[in-house]
Amino acid sequence: MFGRVHIYDYFCKIQMFLSMNRKIRNSAELIERIEKIGFLPLLNSGIYDFSAEDMVDEECRYTVFPDGGWDWPLWKWKGEVITEGGHVYGKFFANKAGFISRKWWPDLCNYRRSKYPLPAEGTIEDTILSILAEHGSLITRDLRALCGFDGPKMRSRFDTFVTRLQMSTRIVTEDFVYPYDKHGRQYSWGWSLLTTPELLYGQDACQSECTPEESYQRIFSQLRQILPKATEKQIQNLIK
């Protein structure tokens, strides 16, 4: 029996390795990859080959054309990963953006919220959450204005508070909103449509039956499995 279990574990590791090294060519494959591994930063994570940018096919990476135009399929897939794949998107990895599968979201909430409690009443973070609760979802620009951060140098300061709330799993991205030109074509990098995970997924989706420490160990074990060459410190930095 022990031998069978050992062989099965080895087989699973081989399957995981092959999956991690298969290049992603469309949004459906990106959705499937996130479902399989649970955690995936969008861009450089500091760990070799561990980001959506690293995993996509060369043709899906950022390209600049001679006329000054650009194309970036990976960037355009983000909304589909959220709305069609049901995965969670936000700045969850050391203040950098990435995806969490719904399977692993309760554990991340459980652990992070034990380290980052709800903002105190009357703080800027509390105001941001209250306004989102009232409006449901808002693009970053409108949320910033409603919070009174509409001065000439307020954008970066406001973004710091929003990032902190994303790292604490209090805010997620519901979708992306793009402006259209007079020909009906999308342009610009788009705006994040922000909301709270409770509003988007429901209270139960943010609850875990584990203790925060158990959730941490579960996440650590998963990342260790998919990142066998990463150091313990690198994995800890992803979780914290």
> What does pTM read for this prediction?
0.88
How many residues belong to the chain? Answer: 240
pLDDT band at 66; cut points 50, 70, 90? confident
pLDDT of 83 above 80: yes
- For the CA atoms of 83, 36, 110, 198, the dihedral, rounded to the nearest 10 degrees, stands at 10
pLDDT band at 7; cut points 50, 70, 90? very low
The domains of the chain are located at 2-239
Average pLDDT, the chain: 90
* Residue pLDDT, tens place only, 142-178: 999 999 998 878 999 999 999 999 999 999 999 999 8
Alpha-carbon torsion 48, 54, 57, 58, what sign? Answer: negative
pLDDT band at 64; cut points 50, 70, 90? confident
Q: Are 198 and 129 in contact (CB under 8 A)?
A: no
| Interval 62-84 mean pLDDT | 89
* Residue pLDDT, tens place only, 10-41: 444 444 444 556 899 999 999 999 999 999 99
pLDDT for the residue 20:
59
User: To which residue do tokens 């070799």 refer?
Assistant: 48
Q: What percent of the chain has pLDDT over 90?
A: 78
Chain-centroid distance of CA 176 in Å reads 13
pLDDT band at 180; cut points 50, 70, 90? confident
Q: Which residues pair with 191 in a beta bridge?
A: 177
